[in-house]
Amino acid sequence: MKHLPIVLLLVISQVTLSQAQTKTCDNIFIITTDGFRWQELFGGADSTLLFDPQHVQDTATMRYMYWADSAQDRRKKLMPFLWNYIAQKGQLWGNREYDNDVSVVNPYKISYPGYNEILTGYNDWFVSFNQQKDNANSNVLEYLNSTPSMNHLLRLLENV
C-alpha cells in the first residue's frame, strides 16, 4: 500500500477567561504518530481490511467491535479515548477529507527529519537519517524555555 507517512500533531491546552483577562495554557502536549494511516484516524476501521478474512481472522467479532455506518462512529469505536476526550479538549490536524493536510516536506519521509520539522518549523537537508545525534537547530521548546512566562511549563515537561 502506497501512502505518505503522516505526522499527527495534537496540541491540548486549557484556556479560561476570567474578568476580561486571558489565562495562558497550563499544559502543552505534542503527540505524534509515525506511519499511522490518516484514513483510519479520521474514518475509523477500513472495510476493505475489516471484512476480508485474509486480513482479519474473526471478521464477525471485529465488525461488531469496530464497524458502524458513519465514519464518526467508526473512528470513536476504533479510538475512543482520542475522539471522546482528546478531540473534545484539544485539536486534531490532518483530515485530508477537509483539505487539512499535515505532511512533512522533507524528501526522506522517515522519523527524525519529520520530528525536526515539527519542532523547528522547517526542513533541514542535513537532518536526513534516523541516527541519534545532537540537533543544531533551535526548536519551539527551546524558544519557549527562553521566555520567562513559559519557563514553568517547560520545567514540567522535563520531568515527564
**In this predicted model, what pLDDT tens digit does every residue of 46-73 receive, in sequence order?**
999 899 999 999 999 999 999 999 999 9
Does the pLDDT at position 10 exceed 90? no
> Looking at the chain, how many residues does it have?
160
68 contact partners, CB below 8 Å, separation of at least 6: 44, 74, 76, 77
Rounded Cα gap, residues 145 and 160, in angstroms:
16
The model's pLDDT over 121-137, given as tens digits with 9 standing for 90+, comes to: 999 998 888 888 888 99
- CB neighbours (10 Å) of residue 156? 12
Mean pLDDT of the chain: 78
Contact 14, 27 (CB under 8 A): yes
Q: How far apart are CA 160 and CA 23, in angstroms?
A: 23
pLDDT, tens digit (0-9, with 9 covering 90-100), for 15-53:
222 333 455 556 667 777 777 888 999 999 999 989 999
Three-state secondary structure string covering 101-153: CCCCCCCCCCHHHHHHHHHHCCCCCCCCCCCCCCCCCCCHHHHHHHCHHHHHH
Residues sharing a CB contact under 8 Å with residue 40, sequence separation 6 or more, in sequence order: 46, 75, 78
**pTM of model > 0.85:** no
